[in-house]
């Protein structure tokens, strides 16, 4: 039986809002997506990497890096720092538990050739501290482990991010050692983990290989995802 997506589980009409944004689109520049700076609400559903956040009865679909996604559970009340991207065919929200992740995400988008999907992939594979360390030490081998990032893109990231990262001190995005586990339903934990990695740009066979190597005795998809991403950084 095919598991319905969260889009079919919880549908909210935002046509008036979308129409307004479409009208305003010529006035919205790439660096001024501040109409929604953050959202405070309750996690209604999870389908990696998308979180459906219930804010006063309105459901917001928010794509997140797996570093954020793996810290969430259904029913949890959270604040997500958001970035709103306006396209001709869609208005997309990206969310982060820590404000610095949002800053880094926007910084990545300024790099030529880096879009939201690749930026999420980078932040899912590398922590903020590790990314800053990687750029400072020109560790191209670590960057090319991110799906979609080839040698040329990695070199461009090094050049364009080096100066921007100099002002950013490490350790401002604390890790959470007491994170509660995600409660997945429907598909198996292995299938959930594979789907999450594929959403970041990994090919099906690559995702399957990573998950099979990392799953061990884990029974939760969030644990498998963490282990798979951790193995990429060895």
pLDDT in tens, 170-186: 444 334 332 333 233 33
45 neighbors 74 (Cβ within 8 angstroms): yes
- Domain segments of the chain as ranges: 7-96, 99-166, 189-232
Q: Which residues, including other chains, have CB under 8 Å from residue 121's CB and lie 6 or more apart? A: 146, 147, 148, 149, 200, 201
Predicted local distance difference test score (pLDDT) of residue 3: 53
Cα separation, 158 vs 19, whole angstroms: 39
Predicted local distance difference test score (pLDDT) of residue 41: 97
- Name the architecture of domain 189-232: Orthogonal Bundle (1.10)
* Chain centre to alpha carbon of residue 22: 25
CATH entry, 7-96, from 3.40.50.20, 3.40.47.40, 3.10.150.10, 2.40.50.140: 2.40.50.140
Question: Which run of H or E residues covers position 85?
Answer: strand 77-86
Predicted local distance difference test score (pLDDT) of residue 27: 38
Whole-structure pTM value: 0.64
Cis before 71 (ω within 30): no
With a cut of 50, which residues of the chain have pLDDT below it?
2, 8-33, 169-187
Predicted local distance difference test score (pLDDT) of residue 137: 84
Predicted local distance difference test score (pLDDT) of residue 29: 39
66 neighbors 49 (Cβ within 8 angstroms): yes
Cα separation, 222 vs 163, whole angstroms: 34
- Name the architecture of domain 99-166: Orthogonal Bundle (1.10)
92 neighbors 120 (Cβ within 8 angstroms): no
Predicted local distance difference test score (pLDDT) of residue 190: 75
Predicted local distance difference test score (pLDDT) of residue 87: 85
CA nearest neighbour of 135 among 158, 151, 113, 112? 158
CA nearest neighbour of 195 among 48, 80, 62, 71? 48
């Amino acid at each position: 039986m095919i598991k319905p997506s969260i889009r079919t589980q919880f549908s909210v009409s935002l046509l008036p809002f979308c129409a307004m944004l479409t009208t305003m689109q010529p006035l919205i520049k790439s660096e001024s997506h501040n109409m929604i700076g953050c959202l405070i609400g309750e996690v209604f559903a999870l389908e990696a990497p998308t979180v459906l956040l219930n804010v006063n009865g309105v459901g917001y679909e928010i794509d997140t890096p797996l570093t954020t996604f793996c810290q969430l559970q259904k029913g949890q009340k959270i604040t997500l720092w958001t970035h709103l991207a306006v396209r001709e065919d869609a208005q997309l929200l990206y969310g982060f538990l820590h404000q610095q992740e949002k800053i880094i995400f926007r910084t990545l988008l300024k790099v030529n050739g880096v879009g939201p999907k690749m930026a999420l992939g980078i932040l899912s594979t590398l922590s903020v501290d590790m990314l800053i360390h990687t750029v400072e030490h020109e560790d191209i081998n670590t960057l090319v482990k991110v799906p979609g990032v080839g040698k040329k893109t990695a070199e461009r990231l090094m050049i364009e991010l080096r100066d921007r990262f100099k002002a950013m001190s490490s350790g401002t995005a604390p890790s959470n050692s007491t994170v509660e586990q995600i409660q997945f339903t429907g598909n198996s934990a292995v299938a959930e983990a594979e789907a999450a990695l594929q959403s970041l740009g990994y090919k099906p066979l690559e995702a399957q290989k990573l998950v099979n190597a990392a799953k061990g005795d884990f029974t939760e998809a969030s644990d498998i995802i963490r282990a798979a991403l951790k193995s990429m950084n060895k």
